[in-house]
Amino acid sequence: MQGSATHPCLMSVRDLLPPSSDQFREDVLHGLRLPEKELPCKYFYDARGSQLFEQICDLDEYYLTRTELAIMDRHAGEMADVFGRKCLLIEYGSGSSIKTRLLLDHLKEPVAYVPIDISREHLTESALNLAEQYPQLKIMPLCADFANLPSLPANGKSARKAVYFPGSTIGNFTRDEAIGLLRQTARLCGLGGRLLLGADLKKDPRVLEAAYNDDKGVTAAFNLNLLVRINRELEGDFPIDRFWHHAFYNPTQGRIEIYLISQVAQRVRVAGEVFQFSEGEPIRTEYSYKYSIDGLREMAAAAGFEVKHGWTDDRNNFLVLYLAVRF
């Protein structure tokens, strides 16, 4: 892999995604054929979806991003200290790498930074921005689904690995899936590996529900954009104005559940296949789990990690955990 002429430390994007439409088509058709229809939330993040998500992060109701940023801002020095000198920093779902900058400002001689994101456009642009601001930092962008990583960049094998997994994106995974993902991460990191994990905490359901039902309708647009993407990339004919965004907190499961609800009985075509919707029928598009500290500690232990430290905000809205691989 080669750096560019203008940014010698910025490697070209390594692409581990299968030819996009194949997997996308397969996953969408599979989800729509189920008796209870569902679509994987990772497909929210096309170029438009990534943009809408950035807008969500700025919403008054969406306390997550600003709270996590404030925690990072306050404690990034300590976090960088636990990673130590010369670590290889890997990030799951790097997006614009905004929070990461706070870490990078304090890290001592990081060997390289490997941002992993599923959105190629967003990853490429963010890596370039970062290269401009951190000209000394070796950046090795990886376009991949972080939940499905075959291997790490070869030259990072010897350095101590530190995985940064912010945003409470872990909340998109069920308990079993999350443990599987953390276990994969422990294996990837190996002995001495560290994980900095951002997780949204349980709180007043009204606060939770407002965060996923904003007044400006940005979250609704983000959810509906998945149908726009299917229409464009898979020759779909979803009538976007015949679906509602619906999000609520399920206290039994401890998660926000997000759906697209068919306003009428209708037939929709995707990639040549016809799908029948009854009036009011939902497609589940996302879960967003909310955690207790004990629940997180238990999940981490089941995956081979030990919780070493945690940082939270004064309202206990959000938690950043430092975990170490325990072999």
Sole binder of ligand AVJ in the list 50, 185, 219, 225 (CB under 6 A):
219
Instruction: Say how far apart CA 60 and CA 210 lie, in whole Å.
Output: 10
Of all residues in the shown chain, the one whose CB is closest to ligand AVJ is 288
**Residue 92 in contact with ligand AVJ, rule: CB under 6 A:** no
Contact 65, 95 (CB under 8 A): no
Q: Which two tokens stand for residue 318?
A: 């959000």
Binding piece for ligand AVJ, criterion CB under 6 A, among 21-29, 72-80, 169-177, 187-195: 169-177
Amino acid at 239: P
166 scored as a contact of ligand AVJ (CB under 6 A): no
Among the listed residues 168, 185, 225, 317, the single contact to ligand AVJ using CB under 6 A: 168
Q: d(Cα 15, Cα 44) in Å, to the nearest integer?
A: 19
Cα gap 55→67, rounded to integer Å = 16
Query: Considering the complex, what minimum distance in angstroms separates the CB of residue 200 from ligand AVJ?
Result: 7
Structure tokens at 210: 């407002």
Cα dist from 309 to 194, 197, 292, 305, whole Å: 11, 11, 15, 12
Piece in contact with ligand AVJ (CB under 6 A), picked from 1-9, 102-110, 168-176, 224-232: 168-176
Residue closer to ligand AVJ by CB (options 138, 255) is 255
The least CB distance from residue 85 to ligand AVJ, in Å, is: 31
Quick one: which of 94, 97, 126, 169 contacts ligand AVJ (CB under 6 A)? Answer: 169
Beta strands 160-165 and 87-92, pairing class = parallel
Please state the closest distance from residue 199 (CB atom) to ligand AVJ, in A: 10
Distance CA 9, CA 141 (A): 11
CB nearer to ligand AVJ: pick between 165 and 311: 165
Decide: is 285 part of the binding site for ligand AVJ (CB under 6 A): no
Collapse the DSSP code of 323 into the 3-class scheme (helix H, G, I; strand E, B; otherwise coil) and give the result.
Answer: strand
- List 46, 68, 117, 286, residue binding ligand AVJ (CB under 6 A): 286
The answer for residues whose C-beta is within 8 angstroms of residue 84's C-beta and 6 or more apart is 108, 160
Binding region for ligand AVJ (CB under 6 A): 56, 64, 167-169, 171-172, 212, 219, 222, 286, 288
